[in-house]
């Protein structure tokens, strides 16, 4: 493991700085209804159509905890190898804003539902462990819309009360690449668990990014700045890069860094001060008297543990052991649950005499290319796992060559056609009859006598010419292995 | 029948069931008396027209199996009532009409009762004299110049003045028991978690509890039986086996041990309160029960603890009244300006005072010294009761340290006003049931009440003790109908 090569450092004259990053990820709990009300959480509905009296904080309305959201948070905690707290407390975080109907957000402050855990990242230079500080449940606020009217702000409360998990890391991340890997891994784990869809475009996953810098080798942390509400990995990386350099510049100029909250301007690619520590809100946290402390039993947790599917790390291990994949291949296949599902379905459909390596190459090669060019997720693949498996088997058993397979694959895309039928209908079956091929090759050698002599005299690269001619003559259907064998014999 | 409004709830129910009276007769009688009683200012909103319609409808097809068949009643304006304005005594909600019904009132209508109207109260139930109401103070039927107590002042006045046969109030620090004591009626604050808080405008969530107010203990028991239900819509509602309080009511309290806490003998307490208490102890003996001296050592910390916990919760509970979604909204230059003007204009002085106190005690740097400490003391106060209940079945104290005071007498002295709740507040902090029953008069002829405090969920026991004592006390309220022209 050569760490030095990939270390992310900021260089100024003789000084090198290390960047320290901690993330507070807000992940929307995958749930039909909100954290404390039965309103729908469906994305994209007409404004204010998914709002109950509780969500809009009408007088006398009371929150009632949604047990499903509790289960989702605990499952996520289990997925993060974290301590599940049998007793947790919902607190009120008090502040005024037009899209916060209660005048407080119900959150967990001192006693979160999930405690310390860890996430393992696969980095090019080896594995990296990122500590999880905590996971707590909280309500989302509504949405203020400022650009619909020059005079007024509109408020949409559809999101008000939707359950969020705030997942806080320890200050363990050291580069934009690690942040990228962490978010992807976290997203992957939650998608495996079905606890968050991880859809960043719809705001299901966003993060506050804490950044500080320190001279390389220093053990003490620098003053950190918090960049609020960044909603894509790319923006997180850009914001970190900008912010770290800004802080280093301040240090180099002999200035101090103010602890503050900053915003990332995606258009200008810079962070800007939002409020200083002195202006920080006093949220006046206190336990919500409308909700009793949340107590979960050991049995409740155990039942959820039994409900946990195979997670990416275990799946990867199994793929390597069971299918003899390389760690690299296994990583690609497990990082997204739908890819893993597709792959496993292909493996299952291939039956006894299967070539897993070939299937992996085809998934990561041809299939990914098609998905990429069409902008599709693997769950929307135009070729079903079943037909894909048949295609791989056709290659494996010599019915078609790899080259022909590509042609067949092209034809399969339109309407998920059965490759077997395509091969039959188009007469693409590989010619593997040695007698027919011998006749075909005899003719080619006859037609190219001079070249055959040159080859025999030592011009070995002419072998390729004969193969090409043979394939051409067969319309590409000749079994290339047989062609090779026969040519070698005849020439 | 001219004396309909003088009848107790139990009598009215019996007469309707025996078809001696119709719901229309009863409803008409209370509407007429209410209309003649506007000087008391007990109502904020009346619903007389639709009450009469409902009564007529009830009479067309009367369901006499219900517990409150066709019984008209007005309720404190802190309960949200569907399609009927609900103000909480505040300007900030002066135009608020709920689209929903509180669980407690829903329970009442489900048993056949009919809404007469919404009764005056201190703004957001913050007050002990009904003088903080945006809709003006309420007069005590006992005497024109007296406050009815608070915050359920309109409710107490309406029951004592026979504008409604019974009512429900809410009690956060004494808001049922103190006005009951001031007006010579019976008021029960149930165990926290006994009655649902769903649909009740919140003051201090960990203390608020709805409860019945009535002319006698039996009526009170019947109403408690109706309103106390487990409600999954309130996470603090408790699912316990509820008694048929009125059916199981008994005067047999022989051998019950009644604790007499020495700490309730506070400095400066008028002699007539001490005398009343002694009389109460004698009644207890007369009923065959046994008074036992006990100690509740942390009693003196209850009031300061209450005035940290309650304002803290209130400051947060009242944050939703911001002019954005419903209720009063002032015009402002921008969002912050709108908030400030709405809340400055919409809330009265006492509510603003408590919001400020609550905001202060929750502020970072003060939280531990005030709120956290108050929670610890609250636990100690509860422990005092737990310890006492190992020796006794219930506790007897005066309800208030004085009889009703004059309108305006304490409005400029909040601390003296707060001291009114000194005997009732510990009960809320401990989440226990407490009942105030009228037990005598002071030298001026004003009613005085005794409070019986029970174990958690032991409403039946304190109702029984109250029922037995009620007979011995044989209290007669001195009401002259002075306000009826």
Tens digits of residue pLDDT in B380-423? 999 999 999 999 999 999 999 999 999 999 988 888 888 889 99
Domain boundary among A375, A391, A426: A426
CA–CA distance, B333 with B340 (Å, rounded to integer): 11
Residues B10 and B126 in one domain: yes
Residues B374 and B453 in one domain: no
Beta pairing, strands A143-145 & A154-156: antiparallel
pLDDT of residue A465: 87
Q: In chain A, whose CA is at the least distance from the CA of B80?
A: A60
The reply to whether the predicted model has a pTM over 0.80 is yes
Residues A297 and A323 in one domain: no
Average pLDDT, chain A: 93
pLDDT tops 60 at residue B336: yes
- Render the burial of B377-412: b for 16+ CB within 10 Å, e for the rest: bbeebbebbeebbeebbbbbbbbbbbbbbebebbbe
A5 vs B164, more confident:
B164
Answer whether A292 sits within 8 Å of B235, measured CB to CB: yes
Task: Report which of B453, B449, B477 is spatially closest to residue B463, judged by C-alpha positions.
Answer: B453
* Residue A10 bridge partners (DSSP): A17
Domain of B88, in residue numbers: 4-263+270-296+384-473
Question: Which residues in A lie closer than 8 A to residue B362 (C-beta atoms)?
Answer: 94, 284-286
Residues A154 and A199 in one domain: yes
pLDDT tops 70 at residue B286: yes
Segment B261-270 mean pLDDT: 91
pLDDT of residue B1: 46
Segment B78-83 mean pLDDT: 98
pLDDT of residue B413: 87
CATH number at residue B419: 3.90.1300.10
Domain boundary among B350, B379, B408: B379
3-state helix, strand, coil in chain B (%, to 5): 40, 15, 45
Number of domains in chain A: 3
Domain boundary among B360, B379, B398: B379
Residues A293 and A280 in one domain: yes
Residues A151 and A276 in one domain: yes
Residues A421 and A439 in one domain: no
B233 an active-site residue? no
Structure tokens at A444: 């080619």
Number of domains in chain B: 2
- Contact status of B418 with chain A (Cβ, < 8 Å): no
Residues B142 and B279 in one domain: yes
For chain A, residues with pLDDT lower than 70 are 1-6
- Contact status of B319 with chain A (Cβ, < 8 Å): yes
% of chain A at pLDDT higher than 70: 99
Lowest mean pLDDT, pick from A444-458, B151-165, B282-296, B318-332: A444-458
Name which of A37, A51, A59 to mutate to probe chain B: the one with the most chain B Cβ atoms within 10 A of its Cβ.
A59
Domain boundary among B351, B379, B407: B379
Question: Which residues in B lie closer than 8 A to residue A103 (C-beta atoms)?
Answer: 316, 318-320, 322
Task: Tell me the per-residue pLDDT of B191-227, one tens digit each, with 9 for 90 and over.
Answer: 999 999 999 999 999 999 999 999 999 999 999 999 9
Task: Report which of A94, A331, A177, A269 is spatially closest to residue B355, judged by C-alpha positions.
Answer: A94
B247 an active-site residue? no
Task: Tell me the per-residue pLDDT of A405-443, one tens digit each, with 9 for 90 and over.
Answer: 999 999 999 899 999 999 888 877 877 778 888 888 888
B76 an active-site residue? yes
- Domain membership of residue B483 (yes or no) is no
Residues A245 and A321 in one domain: no
Segment B252-272 mean pLDDT: 94
Pairs of residues, one from chain A and one from chain B, whose beta carbons lie less than 8 Å apart: 96
Residues A85 and A193 in one domain: yes
pLDDT of residue A3: 45
Residues B184 and B250 in one domain: yes
Segment B446-458 mean pLDDT: 98
Domain of A466, in residue numbers: 434-490
Residues B168 and B312 in one domain: no
Other C-beta atoms within 10 Å of A304: how many? 18
Across the interface, of A59, A63, A289, the residue whose CB is closest to B201 is: A59
- Domain membership of residue B479 (yes or no) is no
pLDDT of residue A279: 75
Residues B146 and B254 in one domain: yes
pLDDT of residue A5: 53
Answer whether A284 sits within 8 Å of B359, measured CB to CB: yes
Domain boundary among A374, A397, A426: A426
Q: Which of B67, B76, B189, B455 is catalytic?
A: B76
ipTM above 0.90, yes or no: yes
Residues A147 and A65 in one domain: yes
Residues A218 and A337 in one domain: no
Across the interface, of B204, B234, B339, the residue whose CB is closest to A62 is: B234
């Amino acid at each position: 493991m050569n760490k030095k090569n990939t270390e992310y450092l900021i260089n100024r004259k003789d000084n090198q700085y290390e960047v320290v990053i901690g993330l507070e990820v807000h992940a929307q709990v995958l749930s039909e209804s909100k954290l404390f009300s039965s309103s729908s959480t469906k994305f994209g509905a007409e404004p204010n159509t998914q709002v109950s009296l509780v969500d809009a904080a009408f007088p006398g309305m009371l929150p009632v905890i949604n047990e499903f959201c509790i289960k989702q948070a605990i499952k996520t905690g289990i997925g993060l190898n974290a301590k599940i707290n049998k007793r947790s407390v919902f607190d009120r975080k008090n502040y005024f804003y037009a899209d916060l109907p209660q005048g407080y957000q119900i959150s967990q402050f001192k006693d979160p539902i999930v405690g310390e855990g860890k996430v393992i990242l696969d980095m090019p230079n080896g594995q990296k462990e990122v500590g999880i500080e905590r996971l707590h449940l909280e309500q989302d606020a509504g949405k203020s819309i400022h650009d619909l009217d020059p005079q007024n702000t509109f408020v949409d409360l559809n999101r008000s009360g939707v359950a969020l998990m705030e997942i806080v890391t320890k200050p363990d991340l050291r580069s934009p690449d690690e942040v990228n890997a962490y978010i992807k891994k976290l997203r992957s784990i939650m998608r495996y668990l079905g606890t968050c869809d991880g859809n960043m475009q719809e705001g299901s996953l966003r993060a506050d990014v804490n950044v500080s810098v320190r001279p390389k080798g220093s053990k003490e942390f620098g003053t950190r700045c918090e960049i609020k509400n960044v909603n894509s990995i790319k923006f997180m990386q850009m914001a970190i890069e900008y912010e770290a350099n800004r802080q280093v510049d301040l240090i180099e100029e002999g200035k101090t860094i103010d602890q503050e909250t900053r915003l990332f301007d995606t258009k200008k690619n810079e962070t800007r001060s939002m409020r200083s520590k002195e202006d920080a809100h006093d949220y006046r946290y206190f336990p919500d008297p409308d909700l009793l402390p949340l107590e979960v039993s050991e049995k409740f947790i155990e039942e959820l543990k039994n409900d946990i599917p195979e997670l990416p790390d275990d799946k990867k291990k199994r793929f390597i052991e069971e299918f003899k994949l390389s760690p690299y291949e296994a990583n690609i296949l497990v990082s997204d649950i739908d890819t893993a599902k597709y792959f496993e379905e292909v493996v299952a459909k291939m039956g006894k005499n299967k070539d897993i390596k070939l299937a992996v190459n085809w998934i990561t090669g041809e299939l990914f290319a098609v998905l990429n060019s069409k902008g599709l997720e693997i769950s929307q693949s135009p070729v079903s796992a079943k037909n894909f498996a048949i295609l791989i088997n056709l290659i494996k058993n010599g019915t078609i060559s790899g080259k022909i397979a590509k042609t067949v694959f092209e034809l399969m895309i339109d309407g998920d056609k059965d490759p077997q039928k395509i091969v039959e209908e188009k007469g693409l079956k590989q010619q593997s009859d040695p007698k027919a091929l011998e006749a075909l090759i005899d003719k080619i050698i006859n037609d190219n006598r001079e070249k055959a002599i040159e080859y025999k005299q030592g011009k070995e690269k002419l072998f390729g010419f004969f193969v090409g001619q043979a394939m051409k003559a067969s319309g590409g259907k000749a079994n290339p292995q047989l062609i090779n064998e026969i040519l070698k014999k005849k020439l | 029948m001219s004396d309909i409004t003088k009848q107790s709830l139990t009598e009215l129910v019996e007469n309707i069931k025996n078809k001696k009276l119709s719901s229309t007769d009863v409803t008409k009688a209370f509407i007429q008396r209410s209309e003649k009683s506007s000087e008391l200012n007990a109502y904020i909103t009346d619903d007389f027209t639709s009450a009469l319609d409902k009564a007529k409808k009830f009479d067309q097809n009367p369901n006499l199996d219900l517990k409150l068949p066709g019984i008209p009643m007005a309720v404190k304006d802190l309960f949200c009532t569907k399609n009927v304005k609900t103000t909480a005594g505040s300007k900030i909600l002066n135009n608020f009409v709920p689209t929903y019904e509180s669980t407690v009132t829903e329970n009442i209508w489900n048993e056949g009762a009919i809404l007469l109207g919404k009764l005056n109260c201190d703004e957001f139930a913050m007050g002990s004299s009904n003088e903080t109401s945006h809709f003006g103070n309420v007069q005590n039927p006992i005497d024109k110049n007296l406050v009815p107590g608070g915050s359920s002042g309109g409710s107490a006045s309406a029951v004592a003045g026979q504008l409604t046969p019974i009512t429900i109030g809410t009690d956060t620090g004494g808001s049922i028991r103190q006005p009951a004591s001031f007006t010579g009626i019976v008021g029960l604050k149930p165990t926290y978690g006994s009655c649902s808080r769903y649909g009740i405008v919140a003051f201090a969530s960990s203390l608020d509890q709805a409860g019945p107010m009535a002319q006698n203990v039996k009526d009170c028991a019947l109403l408690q039986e109706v309103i106390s239900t487990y409600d999954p819509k309130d996470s603090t509602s408790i699912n316990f086996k509820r008694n048929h309080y009125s059916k199981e009511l008994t005067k047999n309290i022989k051998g019950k041990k009644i604790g007499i806490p020495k700490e309730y003998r506070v400095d400066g307490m008028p002699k007539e309160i001490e005398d009343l208490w002694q009389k109460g102890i004698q009644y207890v003996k007369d009923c065959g029960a046994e008074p036992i001296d006990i100690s509740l050592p942390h009693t003196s910390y209850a009031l300061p603890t209450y005035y940290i916990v309650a304002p803290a919760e209130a400051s947060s509970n009242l944050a939703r009244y911001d002019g954005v979604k419903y209720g009063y909204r002032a015009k402002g230059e921008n969002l912050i300006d709108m908030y400030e003007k709405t809340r400055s204009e919409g809330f009265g002085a006492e509510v603003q005072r408590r919001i400020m106190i609550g905001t202060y005690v929750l502020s970072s740097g003060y939280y531990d010294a005030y709120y956290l400490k108050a929670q610890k003391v609250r636990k100690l106060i509860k422990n005092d009761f737990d310890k006492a209940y190992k020796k006794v079945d219930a506790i007897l104290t005066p309800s208030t340290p004085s009889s009703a005071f004059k309108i305006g007498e304490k409005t400029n002295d909040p601390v003296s006003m707060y001291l009114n709740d000194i005997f009732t507040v510990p009960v809320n902090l401990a989440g226990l049931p407490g009942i105030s029953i009228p037990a005598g008069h002071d030298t001026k002829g004003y009613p005085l009440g005794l409070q019986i405090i029970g174990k958690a969920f032991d409403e039946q026991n304190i109702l029984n003790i109250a029922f037995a004592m009620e007979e011995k006390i044989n209290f007669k309220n001195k009401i002259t109908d002075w306000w009826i022209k």
